[in-house]
Amino acid sequence: MGKRKARKKKQAKKKQMKQEKITMKKTHTHNNWSKANCHTGQSLIFTTHEGIEVWAGGKNRNGGWHKMSPLPQLAMGPSETLASYSFTSSTEVPEGWSCEQQLTKVTPPLFISFDWPDFGTPKVSAEFWYAMVKDIRTHNIKSISTQCAGGHGRTGVQLAILRYLLGTSEVRASYATAADLIDWVRDAHCHHAVEAESQQKYIAAVCGIPEGESKIHSKSHWSGSWGSDTKKEVLSPVIGFDENWRSSWFDDDLLEGDGDLLYTPVEDEDKEVCPCCGHTMEAYCDICGYDSYEGIPLTEEPCVRCGKMTHEHTFTMLDGYCIPCHAQANNYKVKITGDEVKSTCAECKTSYTELCFNSYDSKLNGLICHACDSGVKV
């Protein structure tokens, strides 16, 4: 009986050890491929030779542009992941109380919101990316946030394309294929980045380089912990373009030699600073919509209340009133010095002349400047 008990005990221990070995093997596989312990937050991935910072993260992984401080100048990603967040304090005070001025107000970044299904590619042409990169440089954008839901597939595509198109000729030459770009994104950001064959093909098509070896892991490589295994790859057509045009874009329109810029930066001496949003402009600000009306014949209309001739911009904005009459009727303050009329923006509390205002806010009971009205205050 003693031998039988010892043998049963030995068999039970052997069975237990075998089970533990299987469990350890499963756990090891899970840790290698599970997304449970990968990146969180919004992280700086790279900085270009021009000082442009590119950040990345996943909205569902405590990331997203709203997690950055200061906020980025430009945020991009699938539309459903760029959900609006509160930019003002939730504290409410009685109208007209001075303590309202002590509440923190934050201006959101500019947005590029893509029609981009999960596990798919964005519904924009290759030319779109080239034009967007030129816009980034023209408007002097120095901080960019990329994101999607998990910060993997769609975020990885954004990072790969931006790395290539924002780089110098040496940087681009270091990535012979889309596979090379994906390897770089996985090293710099997360080893789960870029999740579908269509995404690798899209990167290759936009950058004008071969796809290279497939970097997409088969389902057998992913443990059951990755819930998105069961999702089908969403294919979007990659709209190609003339390869000659691509070459001329790199060589003539944007870069020369080792990355010397040929385009005219926004700091050009011929341009001035917009009095509303602070961006450089000529007669008209493309960022906030301010118009100096320089070089345009002055058109005036009589105020419906006092009959004084009023600038067409103000006349249209205030439904026929001049600012002094409108302020008197609605009980908000203006300052008149000679022919100059000034008021304070009800949002940013900055004093401006009449052309700097774009609307009247009845709730705040005051005029709103172009920058606050368009959400691009700097």
Domains annotated on the chain, with CATH: 43-89+104-261 (3.90.190.10), 272-374 (no CATH)
Confidence of residue 260 (pLDDT cuts 50, 70, 90): very low
Contact 54, 133 (CB under 8 A): no
Confidence of residue 257 (pLDDT cuts 50, 70, 90): very low
- Token representation of residue 307: 């009959």
Least confident piece of the model among 19-33, 281-295, 302-316, 358-372: 19-33
Q: Please state the φ and ψ torsions of residue 62, each to the nearest 5 degrees.
A: 60, 30
Nearest to 357 by CA among 321, 331, 328, 329: 321
Beta bridge partners of 57: 147
pLDDT at 56: 92
Residue 36's CB is within 10 A of a number of other CB atoms, namely: 9
Q: Please state the φ and ψ torsions of residue 26, each to the nearest 5 degrees.
A: -65, -40
Confidence of residue 118 (pLDDT cuts 50, 70, 90): confident
pLDDT at 60: 82
Q: What is the pLDDT of residues 201-244, one digit of tens each?
A: 999 999 999 999 999 875 433 333 333 333 444 444 444 445 55
Confidence of residue 294 (pLDDT cuts 50, 70, 90): confident
Laid out side by side, the sheet with 351-353 consists of 334-337, 340-344, 351-353
Q: Is the pLDDT of residue 262 over 70?
A: no
DSSP state of 256: E
Nearest to 112 by CA among 127, 120, 122, 103: 122
Least confident piece of the model among 74-78, 156-160, 248-252, 354-358: 248-252
pTM, 2 dp: 0.54
